[in-house]
Amino acid sequence: MATVFRSHVLSSPRAYPISSVNSNNHSSHALLHFPSHSSFSSISNSKLYFPKSTVIPCSQSQNNTPSRRRPQYIPNHIPDPNYVRIFDTTLRDGGQFPGASMTSKEKIDIARQLAKLGVDIIEAGFPAASNDDFEAVKMIATEVGNAVDDEGYVPVICGLSRCNEKDIRTAWEAVKYAKRPRIHTFIATSAIHMEYELRKTKEQVIDTARNMVKFARSLGCDDVEFSPEDAGRSDREFLYQILGEVIKAGATTLNIPDTVGTNMPSEFGKLIADIKANTPGIENVIISTHCQNDLGLSTANTLESARSGARQLEVTINGIGERAGNASLEEVVMALKCANHHVFGGLYTGISTPHIYPTSKMVEEYSGLKLQRHKAIVGANAFAHEGGINQDGMLKHKGTYEIMAPEEVGVERSDEAGIVLGKLSGHHALKNKIEELGYELKYDQLDSIFWRFKAVAKQKKRITDADLRALVSDEVFQAEQRIWKFEDLQVTCGTLGLPTATVKLIDVDGKTHVACSVGTGPVDSAYKAIDLIIKEPATVEHSLNDFTEGTDAIATTRVVIRGKAGHETVGMGASMDAVVSSVKAYVSALNKMLDFGQKSMPAEEN
């Protein structure tokens, strides 16, 4: 976890001047100004003065004002024109990177955490892609989609579908159990896609889109989102035409995707402005955007779209997704919050930002996609200051090098209750801490983790949040049917002989299997011994070890394997022994491969 620095309030009322880069003459109380594209050449010479204690621009944002509540949810209308809906597609587009294969339990955990975070719409998956996807979306719709909080908030649960009756009907059957269900259907509109992928004319594409939106509405769904795939490379006049037709057919949200991440921010912002100005009936729907990150511009494009009139932004936690990923929720939300008035004119979201970091860590663990340390907002270095000049500035004034407080996004030094877990801690304290980290476990899972926690606590002086996440993830990041269970491992290695491993596994019927093998090292020999037992053709594509703090660290291993049909699965294991951790991860990945079988191809990207 990144080092946390807390802002301190000095009694001295000294003020420090900063230059205002604000072409709109707003008197916002902020340390930093982010100029709009129209104000780079007209920097004001005026000064702003404020007390030294006012150091965190994001904390000054009206986003934190209690009166700015989430407006009533109406599918095609937002009562407050400054409110921006956050559409999270972590469980759909975010799950399309190589090796992504989360279990239903993991998807439910993430969906619950997204609800805690306060996202407006959860795109739970592509129900027609496979039976597993269908069941996961249905479960999320039933459980998370009906958990209404005291203020009436409950997330919309959305299912993706292509523009055909089978996909749309399947999506409806999965999401209809939610209090607020949505169908999201799409068809390509760019010349290259229509010619080579669809082999349809413009007229045929319009006819298909119109009829499929009508069909979705006929099923009883009053919240239908339509996306013209590859809109960023589509003919403008054609876009205005097809979007106008689906509005008349009953679409409530129009999503404009930069599907291959090729647009520049100014270009994409103008696209949204042009659609808003030229599409008949546009005043009766919500404009949304979905930006891929192929050129590293997804966050910039998404923010520019908000400035141009989009009021739904499609994002993923940690920016994960197809190819180079998507716009990152944490970056988009905190940019809106930090540069609120002087750039975005008061736009705000319903996101509870202290839940950002716990959600990021959960997605990192469950997806198996390790974050780079310098990742904005949630990376390990996001609030770390090592350079001498930076450290000197931080000691004098936190606002010199921090534009937000770590606590704003959920990075804390300790829990609010001051509970420190150790070898004398009981079930209740452990349960509370695990729930604080965002996990909901069954009793048998909690009991299993408790005894492992006690064993670790006997060997470690300090149990960190990272240690607990490792133990929890090792428990829940398993196939729902544990066909093979790891039991024991013995390795011999070093410079004096061949590395040798003996592995004991238990099959689903309780029968013990033991195998021994040699290899290039202890992990390689252990994997080969496992292969002798399980006999499931698979290739290890990637193996990564991560360690918590100290020489008594818990090793967390993520293994990506590829089966004979090309399908990839991720396994994870945790142990204070790095080799044991690797073995558990490999068995976990093999269990997933056997449990899931060969899934259908992933959803077409949007």
DSSP symbol at 292 = B
| Residue 424 confidence class, pLDDT cut points 50, 70, 90 | confident
pLDDT at 4 over 50: no
Tens of pLDDT, residue by residue over 112-140, are 999 999 999 999 999 999 898 999 999 99
Q: How confident is the model at residue 90 (pLDDT cuts 50, 70, 90)?
A: very high
The torsion of the CA quartet 551, 552, 554, 557, rounded to 10 degrees, works out to 40
Q: Are strands 555-563 and 85-88 parallel, antiparallel or unpaired?
A: unpaired
Write the DSSP assignment of 410-453 as a string of letters: T--SS-TT-----TT--HHHHHHHHHHTT----HHHHHHHHHHH
Q: What is the pLDDT of residues 171-223, one digit of tens each?
A: 999 999 999 999 999 999 999 999 999 999 999 999 999 999 999 999 999 99
What pLDDT, on a 0 to 100 scale, did the predictor assign at position 420?
Answer: 60
Of the pLDDT bands very low, low, confident and very high (cuts 50, 70, 90), residue 53 is very low
Looking at the predicted structure, is the pLDDT value of residue 14 above 70? Answer: no
Q: How confident is the model at residue 390 (pLDDT cuts 50, 70, 90)?
A: low
Q: What is the mean pLDDT of residues 418-433?
A: 72
**Looking at residue 528, what is its pLDDT?**
94
pLDDT band for position 541 (cuts 50, 70, 90): confident
Could you tell me the pLDDT band of residue 43, with boundaries at 50, 70 and 90?
A: very low
Share of the chain above pLDDT 70, in %: 79
**Lowest mean pLDDT segment, chosen from 176-185, 531-540, 552-561:** 552-561
DSSP letter string over 100-135? ----HHHHHHHHHHHHHHT-SEEEEE-GGG-HHHHH
Distance CA 522, CA 542 (A): 17
Q: What is the pLDDT of residue 415?
A: 42
Q: Are 506 and 512 within 8 A, CB to CB?
A: yes
What are the residue ranges spanned by the domains of the chain? 75-367, 427-463, 484-596
The rounded distance, in Å, linking the Cα atoms of 177 and 376 is: 36
Confidence at residue 190, expressed as pLDDT on a 0 to 100 scale:
96
CA distance 232 to 93: 18
What is the predicted pLDDT for the residue at 456? 77
Identify the three-state secondary structure at position 515.
strand
Confidence band (pLDDT; 50, 70, 90) for 481?
low
DSSP classification of residue 51? B
Work out whether strand 484-492 and strand 500-507 pair parallel, antiparallel, or are unpaired: antiparallel
**Rounded average pLDDT over 429-445:** 80
* Mean predicted lDDT score pLDDT of the chain: 82
- Which residue from 95, 158, 110, 88 is spatially nearest to 603, judged by alpha carbons? 95
Backbone phi, psi, residue 488, to 5°: -145, 160
Report the distance separating Cα 521 and Cα 525, nearest Å.
Answer: 6
Of 54-58, 99-103, 480-484, where does the model show the most confidence?
480-484
Return the pLDDT at 468.
82
In this structure, what is the dihedral angle of CA atoms 119, 121, 127, 132, given to the nearest 10 degrees? Answer: 20
* pLDDT exceeds cutoff 90 at 447: no
Query: What does the pLDDT average to over 577-595?
Result: 87
Q: Specify the higher pLDDT residue, 385 or 84.
A: 84
Compute the distance between CA of residue 538 and CA of residue 531 in angstroms, rounded to an integer: 9
How would you label 280-291 residue by residue, b for 16+ Cβ within 10 Å and e otherwise? eebeebbbbbbb
pLDDT at 28: 36
- Strand ranges for 365-511 from DSSP E: 484-492, 500-507
Mean pLDDT of 48-57: 39
Q: Do domains 75-367 and 484-596 have the same CATH topology?
A: no
Superfamily of domain 484-596: Alpha-isopropylmalate synthase LeuA, regulatory domain (3.30.160.270)
Phi, psi of 159 (to 5 degrees): -125, 135
pLDDT at residue 332 in the model = 98
The CA angle 71-76-78, to the nearest 5 degrees, is 25
How far apart are alpha carbons 524 and 166 in whole angstroms?
46
The CATH number given to 75-367 is 3.20.20.70
Q: Residue 243: its pLDDT value, please?
A: 98
Where is pLDDT greater, at 557 or 128? 128
pLDDT for res 141: 98
φ, ψ of residue 77 in degrees (nearest 5): -155, 140
pLDDT at 402 over 80: no
Q: Is the pLDDT of residue 54 over 60?
A: no
Q: Poorest-confidence range of 43-52, 265-274, 502-511?
A: 43-52
**518 has pLDDT over 50:** yes
* pLDDT tens figures, 227-284: 999 999 999 999 999 999 999 999 999 999 999 999 999 999 999 999 999 999 999 9
What is the per-residue pLDDT for 2?
42
**For residue 603, what pLDDT is reported?**
47
pLDDT at 405: 81
Q: 98 to each of 48, 94, 95, 160, how far by Cα in Å?
A: 49, 10, 8, 19
- Lowest-confidence region among 27-41, 153-167, 227-241, 253-267: 27-41
